[in-house]
Amino acid sequence: MERAAVIVAIDGPSGTGKSSTSKAVATQLGLSYLDTGAQYRAITWWMVNNGIDIDDPSAIAAVAGKAEIVSGTDPSAPSITVDGTDVAGPIRTQEVTSKVSAVSAVPEVRTRITELQRSIAAGAENGIVVEGRDIGTTVLPDADLKIFLTASSEARAARRNGELKGADVNATREALLKRDAADSSRKTSPLAKADDAVEVDTSDLTLQQVIECVVTLVEEKRAGK
């Protein structure tokens, strides 16, 4: 019997393990994968590259539809291009990270990127894991399974410092908290747990344990439990 395409929404603050978990779960279950943070980073990269004033929401809104953003959804090789240019590296710079919350707070940007996300999810024939901040609440409110990952700010900063060689863990923690505060307090579609999401605190779990937990939840959902 053919399985219906399952849609899984994974949200949570920065550094809780959304990307690592989503990619592994999608790979294990043969699903597509969409990193929506990469899309907001890509449009931010375009704004910076085109000299748009990030402190002026109306300037951002006026050009919100200009960049052509294409996301590849293979979990073993996720990709992202802007107007045909591979931006997978440039969107991870400190400059983009420090500006992305201001760009993603602009309603015109969110409308544009949300449409893109919905059309990608609708086209995923075998199902998809979509990760971000507002997937369960706004982008895909009818997702089959919603997960909200959390972790202490200490655990998240320590994880990020494992990637950033020589960084000060307190500065990393402050930067994470600042971005979370901006993402949670914006008016349009803030970072939030959907009422029907399953919350998983990953502070004391290994990545493998989190992956196993989410795979089990998807399998249970598919089995109709």
Ligand X SMILES: Nc1ccn([C@@H]2O[C@H](COP(=O)(O)O)[C@@H](O)[C@H]2O)c(=O)n1
99 binds, among ligand ATP, ligand X, none (CB under 5 to 8 A by kind): none
Query: Does residue 193 have a known ligand-binding role?
Result: no
CA dihedral of 99, 104, 105, 110, whole degrees rounded to 10: 160
φ and ψ at residue 161, rounded to 5 degrees = -70, -25
For ligand ATP, the closer CB: 195 or 204: 204
- Could you tell me the two tokens for 133? 């901040």
The reply to whether 162 sits near ligand ATP by the rule CB under 6 A is yes
C-alpha 222/C-alpha 108 separation (Å) is 35
C-alpha 12/C-alpha 184 separation (Å) is 10
C-alpha 47/C-alpha 57 separation (Å) is 11
Query: Does residue 84 have a known ligand-binding role?
Result: no
101 binds, among ligand X, ligand ATP, none (CB under 5 to 8 A by kind): ligand X
In the block, tokens 């399974």 appear at 145
In the block, tokens 């901040």 appear at 133
For ligand X, the closer CB: 104 or 202: 104
Region of 13-21, 64-72, 120-128, 193-201 interacting with ligand ATP (CB under 6 A): 13-21
The residue from 9, 14, 135, 183 that contacts ligand ATP (CB under 6 A) is 14
The residue from 85, 126, 206, 216 that contacts ligand ATP (CB under 6 A) is 206
* Binding-site residues from annotation for ATP: 12-20
